[in-house]
Structure 1
Amino acid sequence: MTRTAHLCCLLALLVAGLAQGIGSSLRAQDPGTRPLELKEVFRLFQIQFNRSYSNPAEQARRLDIFTHNLAQAQRLQEEGLGTAEFGVTPFSDLTEEEFGQLYGHRRATGGIPVGRKVGSENQGASTPATCDWRKAAGIISSIKDQKNCKCCWAMAAAGNIESLWGIKHHQSVEVSVQELLDCDRCGDGCSGGFVWDAFITVLNNSGLASEKDYPFRGDTKTHRCQARKYKKVAWIQDFLMLPDNEQIMAHHLATHGPITVTINMKLLQQYQKGVIRAKPSTCDPRQVNHSVLLVGFGRTKSVEWAETGSSQPQSRRFTSYWILKNSWGADWGEVGYFRLHRGSNTCGITKYPLTARVDLPVKKHPVSCPP
């Protein structure tokens, strides 16, 4: 077992015993001394996620935040309507405000740019029960880590273009996220943007370079656009927004490929694994601030027992879910992915379902005046 895996297992064991007690203590507003076990959990968290603080006062403040977040994770676990598990994550020493400022983008105040096509689908068309584009070779690229750069919008758009290009042209590509940041005229680079900003940049630049030629830096500096220096490896014809309907989204996903969505990321700070299903009061579907790639859907089976000690199940229930690719590295969530309940607009997943239309560039014929 690797050192990281060992630390992860040890953290999980310690947190399991602490979380309920911490939650009860905070609910009772107990000002008592922090248990030694909690300090040990925090120490292991610091080792696993390479955290250090400038002085003892900051260390103590981060311990307080960590304690609050563990209690919050316990409350989410108790209130959860799905199968999600919440607990220690790479963001457990951040306040909710810090988390939003570091990893969310600004909220949209209007719709997508005027003149863009709005998609429509046949709601009565047959949709498969499950779909997972990760199982198709060369379609979904590796999990990326946006680090301190608020570029989820660019990474989601890049993933959309990559997957659609692979499906249509049977050619695996990884496009440059850095080009989207450096050459973007509508968004604000590492300070945030929207998926449609990325698509407009691709259209303006007549395609995108490869990630290999124009690599992601992961810093917040403003860099000069280098788009003209590199060969383009993928192009788009246009982009469209799908109707805010989960059945239509599922059908388009199954028949055309992955799409981008923008959600309320509030519950992702404490998320570890499972299917998130939240009430609007817990995860407001109107306040979306994080863009990700929707890569599939499925369902889990759960069994309810008739009574304690009974060997016969009372009923079998299925939980439908979406599969989403995040941009916070493979150490977060389900190896970089997470799942949201499908059918309840959980965390606003139907707010902005956007996708590009990829194709090879069209050759423009010269125009001449008639004789």
Structure 2
Amino acid sequence: MATLLYLLALPILIYLHFKPKYHDSIPARFFLKNNARFTEKGIWFHACSFGEVRSLSPFIEKIEPSSVRISVITQTGFREASKYPLAQVRYLPFEIFLPFWIRKQKVLIVMEAELWPLLFIVAKAKGMKTVLLNARISDNSYASYVRFAWLYRWIFNSIDLIFAQSLEDEQRLKTLGAKAVHVCGNIKAFSRYEVSHVYPKQPNKRVVVLASTHEGEEELILSHLTLLPNDQLIVVPRHPERFAKVNRLLSAYAENLGKSYMCLSKQNSLEADVILCDTMGELINLYAIADVVFLGGSFVDGVGGHNPLEPAFFGTKLISGEFIFNQKVLFDSVTNVFTCKAEDIKNVFDSIETYPKSAIVHHGDIEPLLEQILGK
């Protein structure tokens, strides 16, 4: 079946290859271009994207650098994984290639919902310990999992150890046939956040950041926002392919208000009234100087929210939309997050100076979890 799907999809894959978003990933994943096998006997982490790779840093930093193997799906994930010194970084090939592409490692650690059947089955057949880390099943997707319960029971037979984000996730996983499930919370709670670049903050400016925004959220938030004269607005879209579209939107927005505008990629400073962050990896640096953060992925239904720990770490005034179903565990770890519907954005923002700053309730301890995973 997988081979048939691969053959039928070839024309689409060739077409997508010419899009910047897939220029490197499709040749590597579906044609094995520049995608050699890992050398043996390492610690293999598999994550999908930028955020998942970054959340693995507390684990990777405690492992011998030359032992680290990281496979990813996206190009942004690949670039982030490549920052780890001496790590072997690859794109995960399409399923039909895995039986001969995979070499035996000490352990395979897969993030969240990356339940590729042959990934676990082949890894287990080659003698690896297999771990599913940070596992969760959202409210929206649970019905779909139950519908294909036979498939997941088959996959879970090849997974030795599962660490779930919550008791609810644990119960849902067991219902689907998972065994050896432990609750450890969301591993992002183990992260420590450090800036890579210090932006000087302009005197008497209140920095308002629209963070990790998705399609439709910029227009939605801005339509309910009344900026003060001393406000500096910085917008950080979640996906690079949307930079051009958001650039046009913000340029017109700034012109309409008579405010100065710039793109961060053109001038690595924060001197305009309205700024588009069109470079990757800068959000943490912007959180460090932000006074108010609107956390995207939560004002339109379907995404389920993003990580509130990062802005809370820097003590921002934190505003989120109501749709946070994929991040409930993390939101429980943060105090003073103000969730609101779109129509309430104006009231919340206008009163934000009377609200307390956000803060992280606690950080997790990674050592016991790492010992369980590696079998120390």
TM-score, length-normalised on structure 2? Answer: 0.24
The structure where helix makes up a greater share of residues is 2
Greater relative contact order, per chain length (Cα 8 Å cut-off, separation 6+) = 1
TM-score, length-normalised on structure 1? Answer: 0.24
